[in-house]
Amino acid sequence: MTPRPMEVTIPDHLFAQLPFFDVVDTDDTVVVDLENRADLVNIRGALQGGLVATLIDVAGGRLAIKYTGEGAGASTADMTIHFLAPIMEGPARATATLVRAGKRTIVVAVDVTDVGGDRLAARATLSFAVLTPRQPAQPATAP
């Protein structure tokens, strides 16, 4: 699949300014790339670790939401990341796979590779809390 810019549905959201690209989006796998550009690297020339964490959260959250049910949501409850190697070439590619989908918690594994460097750069496990659907606001009643 040819990567395409990730759709951002919130107007003026920060994610619209970052070079996220959708690679795969199926029921059981989400793959998202983050291009490595000069304004996103640290003083050593590697993609900033916080942006790698954000990439992991985006890919994992997009997969988790598929298992929440109609109108429900998911919120990151826990994220453990093992940074294994710097992302020097890029893009950073996050591959999210489902570990377990329960009624209240969804667990996702995410591997991040430096595509240009052909190596595993990070491995993460995330837990998402399943959020119940929001109820529509009730009109105020007069006393």
Nearest to 78 by CA among 120, 124, 121: 124
Number of domains composing the chain? 1
Domain with 63 in it: what CATH number? 3.10.129.10
Q: Is 107 within the bounds of a domain?
A: yes
Alpha-carbon distance 60 to 100, whole Å? 12
Q: What is the pLDDT of residues 27-81, one digit of tens each?
A: 999 999 999 999 999 999 999 999 999 999 999 999 999 999 888 999 999 999 9
Q: Is 83 within the bounds of a domain?
A: yes
Residue ranges of alpha helices (H) inside the chain are 49-64
Q: Is 142 within the bounds of a domain?
A: no
Q: Is 3 within the bounds of a domain?
A: no
Q: Is 36 within the bounds of a domain?
A: yes
Q: Is 21 within the bounds of a domain?
A: no
Total-model pTM: 0.87
Could you list the residue range(s) of the whole structural domain that residue 99 is in?
27-131
Alpha-carbon distance 72 to 70, whole Å? 6
